[in-house]
């Protein structure tokens, strides 16, 4: 018993080290070679002033005499006296030590134990236990994923989109006037007039509203007693080398569309069972102008290509009757007013004189495409136009191998070039 009491007293003396030491006493302890060096924490405590209070409110229990030794049980049980310290920051902002865990940790542990019990019964619930201990940021992300749509729209390839546009999109319900124009009845404006006049019936009833949505593959549509085919003609695109003296209006004796008479006569052999397309020009060239012009039956494409807002550049070659000087080129490049709007060309450049003629040629590029714009620019500079030919639209240039009055069908790459895309 005496030995046990002496050991307890030594332990108490070692723990209860005096919190305040004078600097000389600390130095004596440090310089003593036979004693062990003090820990850094005790050195800082020893050198601090008496007025500073410790951050942690830590107290130690009174030493107790060791209990008499007992035989070890067969299965070791955890000691009830073992305490796990928890350092918690209080409302005043100072940390303190506690013997019990915080309430939120106890709640998280209880939820985890409950989920573990459920997971034993149902293995599909095993992943929910981890979600209970997740941080608020992770929980917010989970809620965002639940609120977001299940799947994002897939990105299809170009071939898939082209197949959809050609085979599926065309059969969706569309406006009646648009369907009649696509079926080759007449222009969209003329089709609207036919609808207003009561000459169009849909499923046996007269329809006088052009915006009525119809499905040509399901609805029965008649115009002037003639039934519209369930199939629509395919979209066609042609580049034509327009001859001088032809006009762009449809139905005229010397119209550009008349150049396709032989092609349309053999249509039933090329596309049996498919109605003939109604072709028209994209934009216009006056009767005295020759060169590149686009023919199609796609109204949306024609509107997009010919509208001034598209800012698609068009290049012309102007043959001048008479000499051309530098001041003429400067006057053309400065622009002129057309219908009250100042039009300035994008490019003015003289070309080499051809061997078979002595007339001067000028390359002029514009993007607005106003009526007679190039002729007005040249005449305003004091020059006389002998011949005018369009050679380029966007990035698509008229092939020199394409003869006058001939046409060639365009591919998808050519259509992108017309819009100025690479």
Would you name the residues annotated as active-site residues?
286
Q: What is the end-to-end Cα distance of the chain in Å, rounded?
A: 100
- Report how far residue 280's alpha carbon sits from residue 182's, in angstroms, rounded to the nearest whole number: 12
Q: Which tokens hold the place of 151?
A: 């799947």
- Report how far residue 242's alpha carbon sits from residue 246's, in angstroms, rounded to the nearest whole number: 7
- Report how far residue 234's alpha carbon sits from residue 167's, in angstroms, rounded to the nearest whole number: 10
Task: Please enumerate in sequence order all residues whose Cβ is within 8 A of that of 78, keeping only pairs 6 or more positions apart, or say none.
Answer: none
User: Cα dist. 244→247, 283, 289, 350 in Å?
Assistant: 9, 16, 6, 23
Task: Check the CA dihedral 176-177-182-185 and report its sign.
Answer: positive
> Within a 13 Å sphere around the CA of 386, how many CA atoms are in the beta-carbon half?
12
In DSSP terms, 347 is beta-bridged to: 365
Task: Please enumerate in sequence order all residues whose Cβ is within 8 A of that of 125, keeping only pairs 6 or more positions apart, or say none.
Answer: 115, 118, 119
Name the one residue in this structure whose structure tokens are 């549509």. Answer: 221
């Amino acid at each position: 018993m005496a030995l046990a009491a002496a050991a307890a007293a030594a332990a108490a003396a070692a723990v209860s080290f005096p919190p305040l030491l004078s600097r000389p006493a600390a130095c004596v302890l440090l310089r003593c070679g036979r004693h062990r060096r003090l820990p850094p924490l005790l050195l800082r405590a020893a050198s601090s002033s008496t007025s500073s209070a410790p951050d942690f409110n830590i107290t130690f229990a009174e030493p107790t005499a060791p209990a008499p030794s007992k035989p070890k049980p067969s299965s070791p049980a955890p000691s009830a006296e073992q305490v796990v310290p928890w350092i918690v920051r209080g409302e005043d902002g100072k940390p303190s030590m506690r013997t019990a865990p915080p309430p939120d940790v106890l709640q998280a542990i209880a939820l985890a134990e409950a989920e573990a019990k459920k997971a034993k019964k149902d293995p599909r619930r095993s992943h929910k236990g981890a979600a209970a201990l997740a941080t608020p940021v992770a929980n917010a992300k989970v809620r965002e994923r639940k609120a977001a749509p299940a799947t994002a729209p897939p990105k299809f390839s170009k071939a898939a989109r082209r197949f959809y546009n050609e085979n599926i999109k065309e059969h969706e319900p569309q406006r009646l006037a648009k369907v009649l124009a696509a079926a080759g009845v007449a222009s969209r404006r003329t089709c609207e007039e036919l609808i207003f006049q009561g000459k169009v019936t849909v499923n046996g009833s007269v329809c006088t509203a052009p915006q009525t949505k119809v499905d040509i593959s399901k609805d029965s549509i008649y115009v002037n007693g003639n039934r519209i085919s369930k199939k629509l003609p395919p979209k066609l695109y042609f580049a034509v080398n327009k001859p001088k003296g032809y006009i762009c209006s449809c139905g005229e004796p010397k119209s550009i569309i008349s150049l396709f008479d032989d092609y349309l006569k053999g249509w039933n052999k090329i596309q049996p069972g498919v109605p003939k397309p109604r072709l028209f020009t994209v934009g216009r060239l006056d009767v005295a102008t020759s060169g590149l012009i686009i023919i199609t039956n796609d109204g949306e494409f024609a509107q997009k290509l010919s509208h001034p807002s598209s800012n698609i550049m068009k290049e012309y070659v102007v043959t001048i009757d008479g000499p051309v000087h530098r001041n003429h080129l400067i006057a053309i490049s400065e622009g002129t007013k057309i219908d009250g709007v100042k039009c300035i060309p994008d490019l003015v450049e003289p070309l080499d004189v051809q061997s078979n003629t002595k007339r001067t040629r000028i390359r002029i590029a514009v993007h607005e495409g106003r009526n007679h714009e190039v002729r007005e620019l040249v005449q305003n500079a004091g020059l006389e136009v002998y011949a005018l030919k369009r050679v380029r639209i966007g990035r698509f240039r008229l092939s020199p191998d394409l003869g006058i009055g001939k046409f060639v069908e365009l591919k998808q790459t050519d259509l992108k070039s017309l819009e100025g895309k690479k």
